[in-house]
Amino acid sequence: MTSATNGVRRSLDEPMVRQRIRIRFGKSGNLKYIGHKDLMRSFELLFRRARLPLAMSGGFHPKIKMSLPSALALGVEGFDEVLELEINESAQQPVDPTTLLTDLNRCSVKGLDFYSARQLDKQETKAKLASSTFEITVPKELCPQTVNRISAFLSADSVIAEKSNGKFVNARAAINELRFSQETGQLTVEILAQNGPEAGIREILQVLGLEKELFKSIFPKRVRCRLTEETPIQEK
């Protein structure tokens, strides 16, 4: 027995294989000013334009089965973001990741770039963030005080920062690596994923005395999303 889907016939005896694809992408330029919800809506429009046979959730308002392990903060550019898609099990042929990548970039808009795509093995679990690495260029006039702040910060056991929602977090415990070049003004920060209230790049800039310059003269870029399955973070 066979059934027709989009004009293609398939045997009902053929097993339906769940196909998942992990994509690395970047959001830069003016697109850094759109929030997470707007980004997700943009993805939906893009996927429809590319005619992807994506799996949908059930209910009265079905949604595309896609997930991001970490939402990018408004105003921050990302160059190593992670997106996972689930392909419709009724699709006649598996989606080729290389073709998918080409189609996404062909249908995309300026500032939304897709770098890589690979099919996940059956045993691979959903992506989970281990850490985020940010790069920030500090203005020259703020470099001397930044050196002193970093020295005090790294020598402390605990540094408490207040989040915009009024909750308090230990910014020191969130740092896996912090490097600063006074010559170039480049600050590189690797922030661990945490349970409960998290210290993000805003809280790190706060304790370094740089938060007032955020989105004025300081524009962070997330250059790495390290997943838990990747190179383990060395305990210090």
pLDDT at 76 over 60: yes
Q: At 234, is the pLDDT very low, low, confident or very high (cuts 50, 70, 90)?
A: low
From residue 199, alpha-carbon distances to 68, 91, 103, 195 in Å are 19, 42, 37, 10
Q: At 37, is the pLDDT very low, low, confident or very high (cuts 50, 70, 90)?
A: very high
State the burial class of residue 110 (Cβ atoms within 10 Å of its Cβ: 0-12, 13-18, 19+): exposed
CATH 3.30.70.100 intervals, the chain: 129-227
CATH 3.30.70.580 intervals, the chain: 17-119
Q: Is domain 17-119 classified as CATH 3.30.450.30?
A: no
C-alpha span between 88 and 65 (Å, rounded): 9
- In the chain, what percentage of residues exceed pLDDT 70? 90
pLDDT at 13 over 60: no
Q: What is the pLDDT of residue 58?
A: 84
Encoded amino acid at 163, one letter: K
Q: What DSSP letter does each residue of 160-176 carry, written as one string?
A: EEE-TTS-EEETGGGEE
Q: At 221, is the pLDDT very low, low, confident or very high (cuts 50, 70, 90)?
A: very high
Q: What is the pLDDT of residue 1?
A: 40
pLDDT at 17 over 80: no
Q: At 91, is the pLDDT very low, low, confident or very high (cuts 50, 70, 90)?
A: confident
**Mean predicted confidence (pLDDT) in 158-176:** 95
C-alpha span between 42 and 112 (Å, rounded): 10
**Mean predicted confidence (pLDDT) in 153-159:** 97
**Mean predicted confidence (pLDDT) in 112-124:** 96
Q: What is the pLDDT of residue 18?
A: 79
pLDDT at 16 over 80: no
Q: At 11, is the pLDDT very low, low, confident or very high (cuts 50, 70, 90)?
A: very low
pLDDT at 2 over 90: no
Q: What is the pTM of this model?
A: 0.88
- Domain 129-227 carries which CATH code? 3.30.70.100
Structure tokens at 222: 């997330």
Residue 47: helix, strand or coil by DSSP? helix
| Mean pLDDT taken over the chain | 90
**Mean predicted confidence (pLDDT) in 58-77:** 91
Rg of the chain (C-alpha set): 21
